[in-house]
Amino acid sequence: MFDDKLGCKKCNASPEPKTSRSTLPYEITRSLYESSHYAFWLCECRYCGTPWLEYFKEFIGWLDGDDKMYTSWMPLVEFELAEISRNFPQERGRESIPELQKYFGRRRTLVLDPKNSYHWDQPGINPLHLAVTGSP
Protein backbone atom coordinates (compact mmCIF):
# COMPACT_ATOMS: atom_id res chain seq x y z
CA MET A 1 0.00 0.00 0.00
CA PHE A 2 2.80 2.46 0.77
CA ASP A 3 5.24 1.50 -1.98
CA ASP A 4 7.94 4.02 -2.90
CA LYS A 5 8.47 2.39 -6.30
CA LEU A 6 5.75 4.49 -7.94
CA GLY A 7 6.44 6.47 -11.08
CA CYS A 8 9.43 6.77 -13.37
CA LYS A 9 12.95 8.19 -13.02
CA LYS A 10 11.77 11.63 -14.16
CA CYS A 11 8.96 12.01 -11.61
CA ASN A 12 11.15 10.58 -8.83
CA ALA A 13 14.18 12.77 -9.59
CA SER A 14 15.39 15.45 -7.21
CA PRO A 15 14.99 18.82 -8.97
CA GLU A 16 17.79 21.36 -8.77
CA PRO A 17 17.19 24.35 -6.46
CA LYS A 18 15.17 27.13 -8.07
CA THR A 19 13.74 24.78 -10.72
CA SER A 20 10.54 26.40 -11.97
CA ARG A 21 7.20 24.68 -11.47
CA SER A 22 6.57 24.63 -15.22
CA THR A 23 9.59 22.37 -15.86
CA LEU A 24 8.65 19.72 -13.28
CA PRO A 25 7.10 16.53 -14.69
CA TYR A 26 3.85 16.99 -12.70
CA GLU A 27 1.07 18.31 -14.93
CA ILE A 28 -2.01 19.57 -13.07
CA THR A 29 -5.08 17.72 -14.27
CA ARG A 30 -7.69 19.00 -11.80
CA SER A 31 -8.14 21.36 -8.88
CA LEU A 32 -9.52 19.84 -5.68
CA TYR A 33 -9.39 22.97 -3.50
CA GLU A 34 -7.80 26.40 -3.98
CA SER A 35 -7.45 29.43 -1.73
CA SER A 36 -4.72 31.97 -1.15
CA HIS A 37 -3.14 29.90 1.66
CA TYR A 38 -3.99 26.29 0.76
CA ALA A 39 -4.43 24.42 -2.50
CA PHE A 40 -4.66 20.80 -3.63
CA TRP A 41 -4.42 19.57 -7.20
CA LEU A 42 -4.40 16.21 -8.89
CA CYS A 43 -1.42 15.90 -11.22
CA GLU A 44 0.09 13.26 -13.42
CA CYS A 45 3.59 12.67 -14.64
CA ARG A 46 4.00 13.88 -18.22
CA TYR A 47 6.27 10.91 -18.94
CA CYS A 48 4.68 7.87 -17.28
CA GLY A 49 1.17 8.97 -16.27
CA THR A 50 1.61 8.24 -12.56
CA PRO A 51 -0.95 10.24 -10.55
CA TRP A 52 0.36 12.69 -7.94
CA LEU A 53 -1.33 14.82 -5.29
CA GLU A 54 0.07 18.35 -5.05
CA TYR A 55 -0.37 20.41 -1.89
CA PHE A 56 0.41 24.11 -1.46
CA LYS A 57 0.50 25.70 2.01
CA GLU A 58 1.38 29.25 3.00
CA PHE A 59 2.26 30.04 6.60
CA ILE A 60 1.56 33.72 7.22
CA GLY A 61 4.38 35.68 8.87
CA TRP A 62 2.19 37.86 11.07
CA LEU A 63 5.13 39.33 12.98
CA ASP A 64 7.74 39.86 10.30
CA GLY A 65 5.64 39.72 7.12
CA ASP A 66 7.80 36.88 5.80
CA ASP A 67 5.26 34.32 4.59
CA LYS A 68 6.65 30.79 4.26
CA MET A 69 5.35 28.81 1.28
CA TYR A 70 5.68 25.07 0.80
CA THR A 71 4.56 22.83 -2.04
CA SER A 72 4.54 19.03 -1.77
CA TRP A 73 3.99 16.26 -4.30
CA MET A 74 3.18 12.67 -3.40
CA PRO A 75 2.50 9.80 -5.82
CA LEU A 76 -0.88 8.13 -5.46
CA VAL A 77 -1.74 4.46 -5.72
CA GLU A 78 -4.81 3.37 -7.66
CA PHE A 79 -7.19 3.11 -4.68
CA GLU A 80 -6.20 6.59 -3.43
CA LEU A 81 -6.85 8.13 -6.83
CA ALA A 82 -10.22 6.34 -7.00
CA GLU A 83 -11.11 7.51 -3.48
CA ILE A 84 -10.17 11.13 -4.23
CA SER A 85 -12.06 11.04 -7.54
CA ARG A 86 -15.15 9.62 -5.80
CA ASN A 87 -15.03 12.09 -2.87
CA PHE A 88 -14.13 15.11 -5.01
CA PRO A 89 -16.21 14.95 -8.19
CA GLN A 90 -15.80 18.73 -8.24
CA GLU A 91 -13.75 21.30 -6.33
CA ARG A 92 -14.87 21.57 -2.70
CA GLY A 93 -14.55 24.07 0.14
CA ARG A 94 -12.24 24.58 3.10
CA GLU A 95 -13.70 21.61 4.98
CA SER A 96 -11.85 19.35 2.52
CA ILE A 97 -8.37 20.40 3.72
CA PRO A 98 -8.02 17.77 6.51
CA GLU A 99 -9.48 15.10 4.25
CA LEU A 100 -6.80 15.78 1.63
CA GLN A 101 -3.96 16.30 4.13
CA LYS A 102 -4.45 12.74 5.40
CA TYR A 103 -2.81 11.34 2.27
CA PHE A 104 0.56 12.93 2.97
CA GLY A 105 3.09 11.04 5.10
CA ARG A 106 2.19 7.66 3.60
CA ARG A 107 5.24 7.55 1.35
CA ARG A 108 8.12 9.66 0.11
CA THR A 109 7.03 13.22 -0.68
CA LEU A 110 8.83 15.83 -2.74
CA VAL A 111 8.84 19.19 -0.94
CA LEU A 112 9.63 22.66 -2.27
CA ASP A 113 10.59 24.78 0.74
CA PRO A 114 10.55 28.58 1.27
CA LYS A 115 14.21 28.80 0.18
CA ASN A 116 13.16 27.45 -3.22
CA SER A 117 15.00 24.16 -2.61
CA TYR A 118 13.63 20.67 -3.15
CA HIS A 119 14.04 17.67 -0.88
CA TRP A 120 12.35 14.31 -0.37
CA ASP A 121 10.60 13.73 2.96
CA GLN A 122 10.53 10.10 4.04
CA PRO A 123 7.26 8.41 5.05
CA GLY A 124 5.94 9.37 8.43
CA ILE A 125 4.36 12.39 10.04
CA ASN A 126 5.29 15.75 8.58
CA PRO A 127 4.04 18.64 10.75
CA LEU A 128 3.36 20.67 7.60
CA HIS A 129 0.42 18.37 6.88
CA LEU A 130 -1.10 17.98 10.33
CA ALA A 131 -3.38 20.87 11.12
CA VAL A 132 -5.41 23.56 9.48
CA THR A 133 -4.13 26.82 10.92
CA GLY A 134 -4.58 30.49 10.16
CA SER A 135 -7.37 32.03 8.17
CA PRO A 136 -8.59 30.98 4.71
Q: Is residue 64 part of a domain?
A: yes
For 111, residues 6+ apart whose C-beta sits below 8 A from its C-beta are 70, 71, 72, 118, 119, 120, 121, 126, 128
Q: Is residue 3 part of a domain?
A: no
Q: Is residue 45 part of a domain?
A: yes
Domain span at residue 121 reads: 24-129
pLDDT confidence of residue 24: 95
Q: Is residue 42 part of a domain?
A: yes
- Count the domains in the chain: 1
- The pTM of this model reads 0.84
State mean pLDDT over 16-26. Answer: 92
Q: Is residue 66 part of a domain?
A: yes
Q: Is residue 5 part of a domain?
A: no
Name the nearest CA neighbour of 108 among 1, 16, 3, 8: 3
pLDDT digits (tens, 9 = 90+) for 49-84: 999 999 999 888 777 777 888 999 999 999 999 999
Q: Is residue 6 part of a domain?
A: no
